[in-house]
Structure 1
Amino acid sequence: MATYPIQVKRFAYRGSDPRKRQKADEQNRIATKLETYINALVKSQTAPIQMYFYHQIATETGFSENTVRELCFSIDGGHNGFKAIKPSLGANSARTESCNDGICIATFASSIESVIAGPAPPPSTGLIYRNKYD
């Protein structure tokens, strides 16, 4: 989840090709506009955790969805958008407050532990299996 202030990826071109330099400058200009727009959205956010979708940002800013996705993917790594935490809250208090509002998000730690541990072993049948070397 992203926290305020949000930073959008910038391009650094240090070569001598004027076309590539112009493209990088244009991408950085768009990134600055997106960053300003997204930070205004996040700053006025009332929900503890809010999902922002690239297609909505693209529609509201007038840039293509592909451009918005390319520049904003680094915010939170989401393919369709990103989640942002209300600026006055930390990550833990945002989770707690969102659960109190009835929009409870599954606890991150327990879901990660279940992924790491893998599936539960099958129930015991009482049989002992031996290999041919026992």
Structure 2
Amino acid sequence: MDYRGADPKKQRKVAEHNAMAQRVADHLNTLIANDPAPMQQYLWHGIARDLGLTTDKVESAVMYGGHNGITIGVTDEGRRAVARYKK
């Protein structure tokens, strides 16, 4: 989310949403980096459970995906991009 106005309530709401979205992205990147499969599927409710969030919040944090989750095709370039998340 993006808000450039001066309203502190709206600034705080956007900052909280962006921090939550970053947690979701970091979690997804960790899952992707540690799964060798070239096609991976993650459901919103599983990510929500892992992070203690609602499924609606998780879905709102991911730009691409369907109603229930996201399917990701992982290329060699994608693997390099998430390498720092590998455990």
Q: CA RMSD in A?
A: 1.7
Aligned length: 78
Higher relative contact order (CA 8 A, sep 6+): 2
- Give 1:49's aligned amino acid: M
SS at match of 1:46: coil
Letter in 2 for 1:28: N
**TM-score normalised by length of structure 1:** 0.54
Q: 1:48 to 1:19 in 2, by over 3 A?
A: same
- Would you identify which runs of 4 or more consecutive aligned residues in structure 1 move more than 2 Å? 86-90
2:50 partner SS: helix
Higher CA-based Rg: 1
Query: For residues 48 and 75 of structure 2, what CA distance do their matches in structure 1 show?
Result: 23
**Which structure is higher in strand share?**
2
**Is the partner of 2:76 in helix, strand or coil?**
coil
Same amino acid, percent of matched pairs: 35
Match of 2:39 in 1: 49
Q: Which runs of 5+ in 2 are unaligned?
A: 79-87
Q: How does 1:1-134 map to 2 (within 5 A)?
A: 11-72=1-62, 74-75=63-64, 77-88=65-76
User: In the alignment, is the contact (CA less than 8 A) between 1:43 and 1:87 conserved in 2?
Assistant: no
List gaps (5 residues or longer) in structure 1.
1-10, 91-134
Deviation, 1:87, is 4.1
